[in-house]
Amino acid sequence: MTAAPTTALSSARPRTAAAPSAATRTVRYALHTTRMTVTNVMFMLFTIAMPVGMYLLFGMMFGDQGGGDAQGMIMVNMAAYGGLGAAVTAGTQIQEDQRSGFLRQLIVAGLSPRSFLVGSVMAASAVIVPALLAVGVVGIASGVEVSVATFLATIAVLWLGLLPTILIGIVLGMVLKGGTAMAGGVITMMAMAIFGGLWMPLEMFPGWMQQIGHAIPTYWISQLGTWSLQGGEVPVTGLLVIGAWTLGLGVLCAVSLRRAVGLTRR
């Protein structure tokens, strides 16, 4: 006799919405961060207008060397430089999340440190693409002869190779405080561009600078991009160097983020 009313009451109770999964939280955070970054006018000008302008300048000065091959190398280097700036700068934005208390809100809302790190990498990876494409499109428009397939492969190689530079930005954002993170990012980016031979051929520098250049990822990002564009032997050493940096920085990011989350929860 009482079963029917009980069943009716239980069915009338409002159901609690299921909590979003970790993957959903990660994607939402990545989309939010990407949207905030690409709407920053100064950021987009810095990561697109500057490398495009430098490509046009260097291309006008040195593009005719090597039977025109130099033009393609300059395009690769300036695309890598634009991507480097976007990667490091986007990575350091994590400091703003800490300073504003947004990181604390995310942790309280259930975003795990792993999801936070993955979302940050995804967002930074997304904002790299406009810088790479902008320089590449201007390069083709100004005379770099390349097939569509080779062009897309070169962009993809540069995009993948820039992963450790994203992690460098995140580490700086975790370790440095306030405006120091942004300043540290700019200094690091300039140093990696110079020692990596993105502005001038590394062979023009003293031997000790060349040794440093061969040990950092930016030099090999350029070499892999040039290999993808012009062919030749695969720079296996570059793959090993980039892989080692990615692994080491990944561990450092995890440790730094765990420490930051611990401080946030206090």
Residue 11 lies in a domain: no
Q: How many domains does the chain have?
A: 1
Task: Print the SS3 string covering the chain.
Answer: CCHHHHHHHHHHCCCCCCCCCHHHHHHHHHHHHHHHHHCCHHHHHHHHHHHHHHHHHHHHHHCCHHHHHHHHHHHHHHHHHHHHHHHHHHHHCHHHHHHHCHHHHHHHCCCCHHHHHHHHHHHHHHHHHHHHHHHHHHHHHCCCCCCHHHHHHHHHHHHHHCHHHHHHHHHHHHHCCCHHHHHHHHHHHHHHHHHCCCCCCHHHCCHHHHHHHHHCHHHHHHHHHHHHHHCCCCCHHHHHHHHHHHHHHHHHHHHHHHHHHHHHCC
Residue 32 lies in a domain: yes
For the entire predicted model, the pTM comes to 0.85
Residue 36 lies in a domain: yes
- Mean pLDDT over 163-173 rounds to 90
Residues spanned by the domain of 188? 22-263
* 107-135 pLDDT tens trace: 766 667 777 788 888 988 999 999 999 99
Residue 16 lies in a domain: no
Residue 1 lies in a domain: no
Residue 8 lies in a domain: no
* 202-238 pLDDT tens trace: 888 899 999 999 999 999 999 999 999 988 889 999 9
Give me the pLDDT at residue 19, please. Answer: 62
Residue 15 lies in a domain: no
* 18-67 pLDDT tens trace: 567 777 878 887 888 888 777 878 888 888 889 999 999 988 888 777 66
Residue 17 lies in a domain: no
